[in-house]
Structure formats: C-alpha cells, structure tokens
Copies of this chain bind each other. A is one copy, B any other.
Amino acid sequence: MTAFNPSFADKFTFGLWTVGNPGRDPFGQPTRPLLSPAEIVDLLGEAGGVLGVNFHDNDLIPIDANPHEANAIKREFRAALERTGIRVGMGTVNLFGDPVFKDGAYTSNDADVRAYAVHKTMHAMDLAAELGADIWVMWGGREGCETDAAKDPVEALSRYRDAINYLVNYSIDKGHNYKFAMEPKPNEPRGHIYLPTIGHCLAFIATLEHPELVGVNPEVAHEHMAGLNFTHAVAMALWAGKLFHIDLNDQEFGRYDQDFRFGSVNPKHAFNLVRLLEDHSYSGYKHFDSHAYRTSDRDDVVEFARGSMRSYLILKDKARQWNADPMIQELLGVINRDNSSHQLGSYSTESATALKEASLDRTEFASRPLPYEKLDQRTNEILLGV
C-alpha cells in the first residue's frame, strides 16, 4: 500500500499565481486575501513534497516597484525558499496584465509596444535566472485579435518569430542557458489567439534560428478548450523531442479557462496522460497550473495542492498496474501484429514494385479481432480499483 506522498524526486512545481490566486474572476471580487510571494512559498512548504515554485516577473516584483522594494521582496522570497527547501523551477514574463499589451506584445501593431515587450522579457529573464530558473515559458495570451480586420495574421507570425529569435539569442549571449517552452491557447483573453495548439507551436518552432533550444509547454485546459485530446498533444511533443515542460490541471471541453485541480474533471483523461508520461520517462517539471475553487479558504488551498500531487501519484500507480495486468498484456498481444511479410522499410523501386504487386487479402485482414471494448473496460476497472 503506497501512501501517495510526494517527494522532490517527483519534480512537482506550482506557480506563485496558482496557490496564490485570490479568487477574483470576471464577475466577482477576490474571496481570499492576497499572499506575499514568501507566504505562498510557505504555503507550498506546508503542503509538503513540492520541489519548485515558478513565477512571472510581476508575480514576484510589481511592475512599478523601485529597486529598493524589489530587493526587499527578493530577500524575503529567498528566505522562504531556504526555510522550505523549495527552489525556483521555471520563469516567465507577464505580457498580458498591463494595458500596454491590450493588442498584443510581440505581435502588436505598434513597433514601440513590440520593443517594450522584448525589453520587459529580457529583464524578466535576468530576474528568473538570478533566482535559479532553468526553463523559460512563453505564453502569448494577448497575441491575437477580436476582429481579423485589425491585423494581418501572416505578418503577426513573422513578428512573433522575430521576437522569439531575438530572445533566444539573448539567453545564449547572457549565458542564461534557458530551455524555452512555448505554451499555446486557442482563445481567452483574446477572441482568437495565434498559435492556438501544441501543433501550431511545434510547427512554429521548426522555423526558428535555434529550434533545438525551444520546445513546448502543453496545458490540459488549453487543448481542452479546443476539444482536443490532450494525451495526443503531449504525445506529439514527446515524439518531436520537445516536451520541455508541462502544465497539469483540468477542464471541460469547449468552455472558459477553468484551471481546475488536476484529475478533477476527467480522471480517465488524466490517467491516459500519466501513463504516457511515465511510459516515455518524462523527466521535466510537472507544474500544476491551476487554482483552488473560488469557494476555498487557505486550508482548502492546501488541500487543493496536496490533492493535485496525490492524484498524479495515484494515477502513476494505476499506470504501473495497467502495464503489469495479465489481461491487458494478453489483449495487447492480440491487437498488435507487427509480423508482416510486407514491412515498409526504406523506399526502393524494387520494394515498391513488390508491394504494389503483392496479393493482399483485405477481407482476411479485416476479420482479425480487435477487442477494444474489452480492453477499455478492463482499463476502466483498473482505474476504478476493481
């Protein structure tokens, strides 16, 4: 019997904005007091087993803080890190909160705004590097439009690329040595956001100057907003060697950005994901980019943080059971048939001719059993602990 207690080896992280979220939403005031960065770190320490904390520049240092204030905040923050053993994992920049970014940052129609966005990012990269971050996440929440009359979406992609190239060069030049992870989202807060899915980000990355330094940060909620299979999104990132970071939470399909506790909406989806990550030995941070319900008080926020980690560990154990289950293994044996005399292999005129002329009995192939209902039901019963 496992206890499902997290440890640093699990590489679980939380953002300052996640457990520190005060419960404001578009229709309502905050329901919880704002916590200082140091208080948030203490809360994570209380949850137990958390490896790291992540932040946007302005989660830590307000946009208008003077150097003296900034230093005081950093001092308190470092002290909290020290007393909890938590370290900084990932850094990012807030390019969405200030009115200057209301029509985009790197893709704004205003060259001054684009310049300011890069300027702000470089400073944010310095700050996070100073505090130990090794992953740089880029979420372009304002890179989009409400009306396509406003911006040429082809030009916008070129502007986007120019900014990312510049910033990757800056990281190299400065010796920050970040690995970059792009985080897509289809909409909200903009009517439509550019680079809406993991696929779009992967395609974009292939056009960069240093594609090897840039990967993706898939988030459950963001792919689910487009009704897409999140496990497949992560699979494509793994296949491309680009899973540099991951945002774990949960979300119903086709809704506003809910950012619910990991596994709370659909434990079957969450199980598929965890099995994929474990089978493919994902070794990066597992960041819970979610927040407690607006109804929660501080105690319940701690429960939220613990529940997030417990759910991952429970599902990891289920994945182990699944792989070890005799019925599952037997069914997989029936289903997978790699032993064909017509392997594709590399192309040659001869092999193509042979394959074209081969006599292939499609009716016989179609008659082979694929007991997927039985397989899926057994999967469900393992998940439900039956």
Of A20-28, A70-78, A81-89, A130-138, the stretch lying at the interface with chain B is: A20-28
Q: A303: nearest residue on chain B (CB-CB)?
A: B374
Per the CB 8 Å criterion, the residue count for chain A at the interface is 158
What's the least CB distance linking A224 to chain B, in Å?
9
* Pairwise interchain contact A300-B374, C-beta atoms closer than 8 A: yes
Number of copies of this kind of chain in the complex: 4
- Whole-angstrom distance between the Cβ of A231 and the nearest chain B Cβ: 5
Q: A122-B356, A236-B200 are in contact. Are A187 and B102 (CB under 8 A)?
A: no
Is A337 interfacial (CB 8 A cutoff)?
yes
Contact among B100, B141, B147, B368 for A362, CB-based, below 8 A: B100
Chain B nearest CB from A108 CB (Å) reads 9
Whole-angstrom distance between the alpha carbons of A329 and B384 in the complex? Answer: 21
Residue among B142, B263, B296, B344 making CB contact with A115, cutoff 8 Å: B344
Interface centre among A102, A258, A335 (most CB of B within 10 A): A102
Decide if A265 is an interface residue (CB 8 Å cutoff): yes
Comparing A6-14, A38-46, A161-169, the segment that makes contact with chain B is A161-169
A103 near B295 with CB under 8 A, answer yes
Answer yes or no: A386 CB below 8 A from chain B CBs.
Answer: yes
Beta-carbon nearest neighbor of A2 in chain B: B386
Which of B97, B198, B344 makes the CB contact (< 8 A) with A27?
B97
A65 at the interface (CB under 8 A from B): no
Across the interface, do B266 and A266 meet the contact criterion of CB distance under 8 Å?
yes
Q: Is B102 touching A173 in the complex (CB atoms < 8 A)?
A: no
A208 to chain B, nearest CB (A): 11
Which chain B residues border A265 with CB–CB below 8 Å?
266, 268
Instruction: Report the separation of the CA atoms of residues A111 and B226 in the bound assembly, to the nearest whole angstrom.
Output: 32
A283 within 8 A of B: no
A48 in the interface (beta carbon within 8 A): no
Residue of B nearest to A310 (CB): B377
Q: Which of B31, B115, B266 is close to A268, meaning CB atoms less than 8 Å apart? A: B266
A300 to B369 CA separation, bound complex (whole angstroms): 8
**What residues of B have a CB within 8 angstroms of the CB of A79 in the complex?**
none
Note all chain B residues with C-beta closer than 8 A to A307.
373-374, 376-377, 380
How many Å from the CB of A200 to the closest CB on chain B? 3
Residues of B within 8 A of A66 (CB): none
Alpha-carbon separation in the docked complex, A97 to B227 (Å): 25
In the complex, which of the residues B189, B191, B293, B356 contacts A146, with contact meaning CB atoms closer than 8 Å?
B293
- Check: A217 CB closer than 8 A to any chain B CB: no
Cβ contacts under 8 Å, A196 to chain B: 197, 199, 228-229, 232
A102: B residues at CB distance < 8 A: 23, 28, 31, 294-295, 366, 370
The answer to whether residues A192 and B229 also contact, given A115-B344, A343-B111 and a CB cut-off of 8 A, is: yes
Q: Which residues of B contact A30 (CB under 8 A)?
A: 99
* A261 lies within 8 A of B188 (CB): no
For residue A288, CB closer than 8 A to chain B, the reply is no
Is there a chain B Cβ closer than 8 Å to A52's Cβ?
no
Name the interface residues of A271-317: CB closer than 8 Å to any CB of B. Answer: 272, 276, 279-280, 292-297, 299-301, 303-304, 306-307, 310-311, 314
Question: Can you spell out 20 A-B residue pairs with CB atoms less than 8 angstroms apart?
Answer: A111-B342, A112-B340, A112-B365, A115-B358, A119-B355, A148-B276, A150-B335, A154-B280, A165-B347, A169-B347, A191-B258, A197-B199, A207-B240, A225-B227, A226-B227, A264-B377, A300-B372, A303-B377, A307-B380, A311-B380
